[in-house]
Structure 1
């Protein structure tokens, strides 16, 4: 979900699993819909990369952050989309609903897209919960689409039944896509292309075939070279371009004691800006590159204040 502990565990998981993850001995049975040709009709095709400097950000603390502060920060940082955490209980929570409506009004005035953010690892198998969440939050009319952060590899079943769990996760995305015509975007680790799923396809391909866009958790503190943001994201950038799906790269700002090279927390805001400008330049070679998303609002502001920006 949205706790800092879970976010830290996610990053460490991504660090531990490298792009050389060993494939399964035998390919699992094919999914009902495998080829990118079976992607939902709403899937778009980008023919040119997003302009350099295109930024988005995760807003996990939407229940407590002041909308005016969030919007002022977003405008100052040229953020054009906010992934705002929205629980399934949002429609029934008058205080939080009022706060989200205020954020929506300000975002509309500023020309900032507001997308509903949500996700639990358990949604990979509990499809009813995932669908109920999307119906509830999109039913408010406040969001342009869904942005899901569902990490099936955080479940124990990933170790004992990876193929089945991965197939169930893909099915969840397929159901969410079918349930609503608004765009669906998913957060993905950079190594999904190393997980075989069906004959001649991978988990990365299956995910891209069932979403309108994706964000890679390319959490590194350098732009180029070995183990850099663009290095670990190259596979997903290539696959997304082939599938015609917009793909963002993600940058981390919260401190991670066990993985300092996964975050800009130590480097500070000025260094991050310089690195991300280089990422824009390099990733801009891919037609579907969709800019950079910053994880996340609260830690980004804290990092900037600590580094004097």
Structure 2
């Protein structure tokens, strides 16, 4: 993908001193996972314990306060706390790029539950119509959304899902990946490949983010896919299975000992991960 220069005036929040945080690579086998469904807590948490999950990104519906799901989420919180597993509220919609009110309303609802230790955003602005019709306005709106959500989150940290190639874009003279890092506490890279190291691997396509995270003093978590992807079979472990997934992620752990920003690996997602063949 070629670099696109987007001339846009973007108000910047106060930036932290580059590299000011003293980062060290997350310990090997530091794992998180996305939980998009309404799977029962009594099933999810024990499975997470067996797979060394320390954080679960739990999907929260905008109607969480009224849709009857609070009991399940409260049970998940109780079970997770007993195992020292953190829960982050997961939500996102490409339309949020231009509908900040909806995004902020979702965040308020998630925070009102009092169940989560952070906010995990999966907005993916490149899926919005504006990415092709008005890129400049879309990037400006996306960065503004991150600013507003971080400000509204108070002390809760904000983490954003990002594609590995985001650093190929610019906003004016500034790199888009750097601008995202300035507005969030950490990122999870959708570094979806079916090999851990080597050419075109999870690690190789994440090098840009790991380097930018180190300079910014921000954690960079890497992501692995387990669902079927007909248009990109080399982007998922769906065909390779659970043993291969574990072996390749261990290679990433071993290769990132000197990558200070490395924040561990998140697996997408619970339902497809748990049904992988051995």
Q: CA deviation at 1:281?
A: 1.5
Q: Judging changes above 3 Å, is the alpha-carbon distance between structure 1 residues 44 and 299 closer, same or farther for their aligned structure 2 residues? A: farther
Matched, 1:53 2:29: yes
Matched, 1:100 2:76: no
Name the structure 2 match of 1:91.
Answer: 65
What per-residue deviation string (whole Å, max 9, x for no partner) do you get for residues 4-30 of structure 1? xxxxxxxxxxxxxxxxx2223x54134
Conserved in 2, the CA contact under 8 Å of 1:55 and 1:81?
yes
Q: CA RMSD in A?
A: 1.7
Matched, 1:193 2:172: no
Name the structure 2 match of 1:285.
Answer: 258
Q: Distance in 2 between matches of 1:262 and 1:178?
A: 34
Matched, 1:33 2:12: yes
Instruction: Give every structure 1 segment of 4 or more consecutive aligned residues whose post-TM-superposition deviation is greater than 4 Å.
Output: none
Q: CA deviation at 1:55?
A: 0.0
Conserved in 2, the CA contact under 8 Å of 1:49 and 1:290?
yes
Q: Distance in 2 between matches of 1:223 and 1:190?
A: 14
Aligned length: 277
Name the structure 2 match of 1:4.
Answer: none
Q: CA deviation at 1:37?
A: 3.7
What per-residue deviation string (whole Å, max 9, x for no partner) do you get for residues 133-164 of structure 1? 00011111011110000011111210121121
Unpaired segments of 5 or more residues in structure 2?
none
Name the structure 2 match of 1:16.
Answer: none
Equivalent of residue 152 in structure 2, options 176, 179, 192: 179
Name the structure 2 match of 1:71.
Answer: 45
More helix by share: 1
What per-residue deviation string (whole Å, max 9, x for no partner) do you get for residues 257-276 of structure 1? 22110001111111111100
Matched, 1:302 2:278: no
Conserved in 2, the CA contact under 8 Å of 1:36 and 1:205?
no
Conserved in 1, the CA contact under 8 Å of 2:20 and 2:216?
no
What per-residue deviation string (whole Å, max 9, x for no partner) do you get for residues 158-191 of structure 1? 0121121011101001000001220000000001
Q: Distance in 2 between matches of 1:46 and 1:131?
A: 31
Local SS of the residue matching 1:74: helix
TM-score by length of 2: 0.96
Matched, 1:209 2:182: yes
Conserved in 1, the CA contact under 8 Å of 2:13 and 2:183?
no
Equivalent of residue 196 in structure 2, options 217, 223, 233: 223
Local SS of the residue matching 2:230: coil
Name the structure 1 match of 2:229.
Answer: 256
More strand by share: 2
Unpaired segments of 5 or more residues in structure 1?
1-20
Q: Distance in 2 between matches of 1:124 and 1:38?
A: 27
**After the TM superposition, which of the residue ranges 77-86 and 273-282 deviates more from structure 2?**
273-282
